[in-house]
């Protein structure tokens, strides 16, 4: 730690001026330095004779960030000028922590910290806290009394000729990155992180520790200038009590240092979770990119689940289009095969306390392992407060989370270890892949945290990358959940690619950049447990890539390489030592993956793929009607048809909260092929049981001999096999002529937003629709759906007729279409045929005599669901009484 000491006369004058309110006495210029461990990185803070602060960073005695103005303004004070120095306090900060995701799971770093205290006009107080590590420097402001922030004068200065890789800002960070110079970048806003080359060194600008107390910033630049100024998302930021702003960060050094930097994590708050045993990274099969309609097809999702199970992938993500009616059964199907299900949500479906309190426990009861939340598209303080809320709520339910349409990570994955990845990248779903862009991402966006690029897809035909380049993305790009984005059939048509993907971990004990430059190529060596993985992607002409293997330990290693060959992907093997060189032929825009494992005489590094033994579980009865306080007796039989043994078998009901169970858990220490385990229990419903459908699950759990685990989580973990009795708690029968919109829904699903009562579909939240309007006539009663939509309603055999006027609501701006269908106890009773926006309202009537459950369904008309605002105007039933 080095301090340029002031004379006692100068320091005394500065202190006296600070203590006299309204004093116009200007202090002499002052400057301080804060050196990081090893003294390679030094932060420099200065106060000029007008009370303006500046901040810069030196590397090995030379500036990489020239001094640039800093400061903050509030509604009460301008703390960017007229400042007077009061005091300095120094300390050493040691950060030791373990993460669940990332390029380095265990971290032990030392930072030097100095807090500089200043006073401004009318005695306003400001602290500037500076931290420096061996790989960068950062600063933040502290307002001891809080206040309302109106802006920052914070900035960074880069040489105008410095090569720079910048991201024109938008709120989801999905624009293409631009290679330019710091000065030549066009006038406008730029997103973090920003990479620039200063001489032989590099600097990566970003921020850390952003949550609902502040907002997300960006950089504002004027063409031709050297300054990049901090611009906040909000015009005002409110704080109650002490406010510590986010850190403004600069990772500095050579490319290996910058890409290996964990400065944003080091500066983030410690983990808020004490137990992370339920957090599991891994490969994910994801269907939306390669076939957009598949998330609405439970049969197709089962095929993805079977594929994941065959290849040891622990997850399947069901994206937009899933239906609550079939998801629980698909989740049970998946878990019995050792696969967990993740579900997609639009963020507005989880933006209120009530929605989260209702939906998240329900997901947990279904057995869902995590959620993908999409379309936040904002860096505002309000949105970061929502991030705070949903992170706490998902953690409480042990649900992992992936943020799409999101901001960049700013240390979030350290503070909330159940965050598996974030998008904030121009990924494969843009359907245009360029090798030059791909080789920029590892040096920019991916440095600061998990990046959900959704790689390895042949479905993207507009690409200039080779097959090996595509496979290598799953290793070169770090993401706790790696969503592999093509069809099962496509991967199976590329068996060497599939074989490699099924062996790759998604988290790393350590990572090293071996070579590369943004826009040209990237080669990483990553270690997981006792083996190394080397992956490279290229945006240059064909060549032979060579690297020393001095990062290996002693002994012999089998090096197994996947690369592009003359007729597709090829695999090559050789035995190497740490003194050897790895050489791999690369095609133009190509890539490769090399796995290095201790050589034991085996011809491959492949480990066994986890495949769960097939079992069956039946429950009796399959369905039942129960009244509040009533009982139902459930019997279950769990069978291992063949193979085994399986061990530690348990069989027991797992009913919803409030139900009581009479009967003990059935156990067996070991089962072999042909063995069965049986049990019977009496379940009693709570007295306040709500009407509608309820599942009463019975679950078997077991482990199995020789379970290899997955690449990320080796070893045994229980397999969960579940079936459920479908219980109906019927409401009172309708009486007289009843409007359908006044009756309770047993079940509901909709294309966008909820099914609305007495208004059209607003596509987002309950109550956001307009009057139901068909060909200029408004209707006071009815249902507003968006195809594919469906409700079920209890009639109890008490009604004789249903009728409605159906059609596409006038509010849509382009032609929609829907087929309106009426079903009674699962039988088709009536249908409108496809109705389009130009068609007049059609009368739809059905005889519902004896029907217990009425289903009203609107399909998409066969041309997709856009603009399908399907109105059931004046829908009613005629009943006894």
The tens digit of pLDDT for each residue in 376-387 reads 999 999 999 999
* Predicted pLDDT of residue 3: 33
Q: How many domains does the chain have?
A: 4
Please report the pLDDT score of residue 22 as a whole number: 38
Q: 702 and 754: one domain?
A: no
Residue 530 annotated among the catalytic residues of the structure: no
CA atoms of 811 and 870, how far apart (whole Å): 11
Average pLDDT of the segment spanning 487-492: 98
* Domain match, 298 and 243 both: no
323 and 251 both lie in a single domain:
no
CA distance 764 to 768: 7
Residue 12: which pLDDT band, with cuts at 50, 70 and 90?
A: very low
Asked if residue 520 is part of any domain, the answer here is no
Q: Among 675, 697, 729, identify where a domain stops.
A: 729
Q: Average the pLDDT over 323-336 and give the result.
A: 96
Shared domain check, 753 and 718: no
Kindly tell me the burial class for residue 108, based on how many C-beta atoms sit within 10 Å of its own C-beta (0-12, 13-18, 19 or more): exposed
432 in a domain, yes or no?
yes
The answer on pLDDT for 249 being more than 60 is yes
The answer to whether residue 262 sits within a structural domain is yes
- Verify whether residue 374 is a known catalytic residue: yes
User: Is 456 inside any structural domain?
Assistant: yes
How would residue 716 be classed by pLDDT, with cut points 50, 70 and 90?
A: confident
Domain boundary among 222, 242, 266: 266
Q: 707 pLDDT exceeds 50?
A: yes
Amino acid 861: pLDDT: 87
Residue 85 phi, psi dihedral angles, 5° rounding: -75, 140
659: CB partners within 8 A, 6+ apart: 683, 684, 685, 686, 696
Q: Do residues 127 and 244 make contact, with C-beta atoms less than 8 angstroms apart?
A: no
Query: Do residues 767 and 825 both lie within one domain?
Result: yes
Sign of the four-CA dihedral 457, 458, 459, 460: positive
Which residue is listed with tokens 């106060």?
A: 47
Task: Indicate the pLDDT class of residue 8, thresholds 50, 70 and 90.
Answer: very low
Tokens of 318: 């069901």
What's the whole-number average pLDDT of the chain? 95
pLDDT, position 525: 98
Same domain assignment for residues 115 and 190: yes
> Tell me, what's the pLDDT at 10?
33
State whether residue 641 is helix, strand or coil: coil
Query: Do residues 484 and 498 make contact, with C-beta atoms less than 8 angstroms apart?
Result: no
pLDDT band at 206 (very low <50, low <70, confident <90, very high): very high
How far apart CA 760 and CA 748 sit, in angstroms, is 15
Per-residue model confidence as pLDDT tens digits over 115-131: 999 999 889 999 999 99
Strand order in the sheet with 631-639: 616-620, 631-639, 676-684, 660-662
Same domain, 460 and 495: yes
Region 132-144 average pLDDT = 97
Catalytic one of 95, 374, 478, 586: 374
Does residue 582 sit within a domain? Answer: no
CATH of the domain at 87: 2.70.98.10
Percentage, residues of the chain above pLDDT 70? 97
DSSP state of 868: -
Which sign does the torsion angle of CA 513, 515, 517, 518 carry? negative
- Residue 767 CB: number of other CB atoms within 10 A? 11
The pLDDT of residue 6 is above 60: no
CA distance 534 to 521: 13
Token digits of residue 818: 């829907």
Q: Are residues 457 and 362 in the same domain?
A: yes
- Does residue 1 carry a pLDDT above 60? no
3-class SS letters over 53-75: EEEEEEECCEEEEEEEEECEEEC
Percent above pLDDT 90 for the chain? 93
Q: Please tell me whether the overall predicted TM-score, pTM, comes out greater than 0.85 for this model.
A: yes
CATH code for position 337: 3.20.20.70
Q: What is the pLDDT of residue 4?
A: 33
pLDDT in tens, 18-72: 333 333 344 689 999 999 999 999 999 999 999 999 999 999 999 999 999 999 9
Residues whose CB is less than 8 angstroms from the CB of residue 455 and which lie 6 or more positions away in sequence, other chains included: 427, 428, 470, 473, 474, 477, 482, 484, 485
- Tens digit of pLDDT for each residue in 763-774? 888 889 999 999
User: Phi/psi at 419 (nearest 5 deg)?
Assistant: -80, 110
Range of the domain at 53: 8-266
The answer for residues whose C-beta is within 8 angstroms of residue 275's C-beta and 6 or more apart is: none
Instruction: Please tell me the predicted confidence (pLDDT) of residue 27.
Output: 60
CA triplet 216, 217, 221: central angle to 5 degrees?
160
The confidence score (pLDDT) of residue 19 equals: 34
Reply yes or no on whether the pLDDT at 14 is more than 70. Answer: no
* 621 and 708, same domain (yes or no): yes
297 contact partners, CB below 8 Å, separation of at least 6: none
pLDDT (tens digit per residue) in 773-815: 999 999 999 999 999 999 999 999 999 999 999 999 999 999 9
The pLDDT of residue 591: 98
Strand partners, 623: 726
List the end-to-end C-alpha distance of the chain, in Å, as a whole number. Answer: 87
9 pLDDT more than 50: no
Instruction: Give residue 19's Cα distance to chain centre.
Output: 50
pLDDT mean over 355-371: 97
- Report the pLDDT value the prediction gives residue 554, as an integer from 0 to 100: 96
Asked whether residue 235 is assigned to any structural domain, the reply reads yes
Is 846 in the same domain as 725? Answer: no
What is the pLDDT, as a whole number, of residue 715? Answer: 84
DSSP β-ladder status, 217-221 and 227-232: antiparallel
Domain annotation covers residue 590: no
CATH number at residue 678: 2.60.40.10
In a domain, 97, yes or no: yes
Catalytic position from the list 429, 452, 467, 874: 429
Instruction: Judge if 743 and 712 occupy the same domain.
Output: no
| Residue 120 to residues 45, 53, 89, 127, 223, Cα–Cα distance (Å) | 17, 12, 19, 11, 32
Calculate mean pLDDT across residues 617-628.
96
Mean pLDDT of 845-870: 94
Does residue 682 share a domain with residue 801? no
Distance CA 553, CA 417 (A): 30
Domain edge (last residue) among 238, 266, 294: 266
For residue 796, the domain's CATH number is 2.60.120.1060
């Amino acid at each position: 730690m080095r301090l340029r000491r002031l004379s006692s006369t100068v320091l005394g004058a500065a202190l006296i001026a600070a203590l006299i309110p309204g004093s116009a006495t200007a202090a002499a210029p002052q400057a301080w330095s804060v050196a990081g461990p090893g003294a390679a990185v030094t932060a420099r803070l200065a106060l000029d004779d007008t009370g303006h602060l500046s901040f810069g960073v030196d590397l090995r005695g030379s500036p990489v960030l020239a001094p640039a103005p800093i400061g903050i303004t509030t509604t009460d004070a301008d703390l960017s000028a007229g400042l007077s120095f009061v005091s300095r306090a120094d300390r050493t900060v040691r950060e030791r922590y373990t993460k669940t995701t990332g390029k380095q799971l265990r971290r032990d770093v030392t930072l030097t910290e100095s807090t500089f205290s200043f006073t401004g006009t009318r005695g306003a107080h400001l602290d500037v806290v500076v931290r420096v590590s061996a790989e960068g420097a950062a600063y933040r402001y502290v307002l001891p009394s809080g206040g309302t922030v109106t802006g920052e004068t914070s900035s960074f200065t880069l040489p105008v000729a410095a090569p720079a890789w910048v991201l024109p800002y938008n709120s989801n960070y999905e624009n293409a990155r631009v290679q330019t110079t710091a000065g030549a970048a066009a006038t406008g806003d730029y997103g973090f992180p920003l990479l620039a080359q200063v001489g032989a060194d590099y600097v990566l600008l970003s921020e850390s520790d952003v949550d609902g107390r502040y907002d997300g910033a960006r950089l504002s630049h004027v063409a031709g200038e050297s300054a990049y100024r901090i611009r906040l998302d909000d015009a005002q930021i409110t704080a109650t009590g002490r406010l510590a702003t986010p850190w403004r960060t600069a990772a500095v050094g050579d490319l290996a240092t910058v890409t290996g930097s964990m400065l944003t994590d080091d500066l983030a708050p410690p983990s808020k979770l004490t137990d992370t045993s339920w957090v599991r990274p891994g490969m994910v099969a994801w269907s939306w990119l390669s076939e957009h309609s598949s998330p609405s097809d439970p049969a197709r999702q089962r095929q993805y689940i079977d594929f994941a199970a065959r290849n040891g992938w622990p997850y399947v993500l069901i994206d937009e289009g899933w239906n609550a009616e079939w998801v629980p059964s698909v989740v049970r199907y998946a878990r019995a095969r050792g696969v967990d299900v993740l579900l997609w949500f639009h963020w507005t479906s989880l933006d209120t306390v009530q929605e989260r309190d209702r939906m998240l426990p329900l997901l947990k009861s279904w057995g869902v392992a995590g959620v993908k939340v999409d379309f936040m598209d904002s860096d505002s303080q309000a949105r970061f407060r929502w991030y705070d809320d949903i992170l706490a709520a998902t953690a409480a339910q042990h649900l992992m989370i992936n943020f799409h349409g999101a901001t960049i990570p700013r240390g979030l994955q350290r503070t909330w270890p159940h965050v598996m990845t974030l998008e904030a990248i121009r990924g494969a779903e843009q359907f245009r892949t360029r090798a030059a862009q791909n080789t920029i991402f590892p040096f920019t966006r991916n440095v600061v945290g998990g990046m959900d690029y959704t790689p390895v897809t042949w479905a993207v035909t507009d690409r200039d990358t080779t097959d090996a380049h595509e496979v290598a993305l799953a290793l070169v790009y770090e993401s706790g959940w790696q969503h592999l984005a093509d069809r099962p059939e496509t991967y199976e048509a590329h068996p060497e690619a599939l074989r490699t993907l099924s062996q790759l971990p998604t988290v790393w004990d350590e990572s090293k950049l071996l070579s590369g430059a943004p826009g040209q190529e990237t080669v990483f060596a990553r270690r997981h447990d006792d083996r190394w993985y080397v992956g490279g992607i290229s945006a240059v002409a064909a060549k032979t890539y060579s690297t020393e293997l001095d990062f290996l330990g002693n002994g012999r290693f089998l090096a197994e390489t996947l690369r592009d060959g003359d007729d597709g992907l090829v695999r090559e093997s050789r035995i190497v030592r740490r003194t050897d060189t790895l050489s791999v032929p690369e095609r133009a825009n190509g890539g490769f993956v090399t796995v290095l494992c201790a050589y034991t005489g085996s011809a491959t590094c492949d480990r066994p793929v986890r495949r769960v033994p097939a079992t069956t579980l039946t429950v009796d009865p399959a369905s039942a009607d129960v009244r509040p306080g009533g009982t139902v007796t459930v019997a279950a039989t769990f069978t291992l048809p063949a193979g085994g043994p399986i061990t530690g078998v348990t069989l027991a009901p797992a009913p919803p909260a409030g139900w009581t169970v009479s009967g003990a858990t059935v156990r067996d220490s070991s089962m072999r092929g042909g063995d069965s385990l049986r049990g019977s229990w009496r379940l009693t419903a709570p007295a306040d049981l709500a009407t509608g459908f309820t599942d009463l699950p019975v679950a078997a759990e077991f482990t199995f001999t020789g379970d290899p685990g997955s690449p990320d989580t080796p070893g045994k973990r229980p397999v969960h096999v579940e079936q459920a009795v479908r219980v109906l708690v019927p409401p009172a029968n309708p009486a007289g002529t009843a409007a359908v919109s006044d009756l309770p829904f047993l079940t509901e699903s909709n294309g966008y937003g909820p099914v609305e009562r007495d208004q059209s579909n607003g596509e987002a939240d309950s109550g956001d629709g307009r009057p139901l309007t068909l060909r200029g006539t408004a209707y006071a009663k009815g249902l507003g759906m968006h195809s594919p939509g469906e409700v079920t309603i209890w009639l109890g055999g008490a009604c004789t007729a249903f009728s409605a006027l159906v059609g596409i609501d006038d509010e849509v701006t382009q032609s929609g279409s829907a087929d309106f269908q009426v079903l009674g106890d699962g039988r088709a009773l009536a249908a409108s045929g496809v109705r389009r926006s130009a068609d007049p309202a059609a009368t739809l009537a059905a005889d519902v005599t004896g029907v217990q459950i009425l289903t009203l369904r609107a399909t998409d008309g066969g041309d997709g669901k856009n603009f399908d605002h399907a109105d059931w105007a004046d829908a009613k039933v005629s009943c006894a009484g």
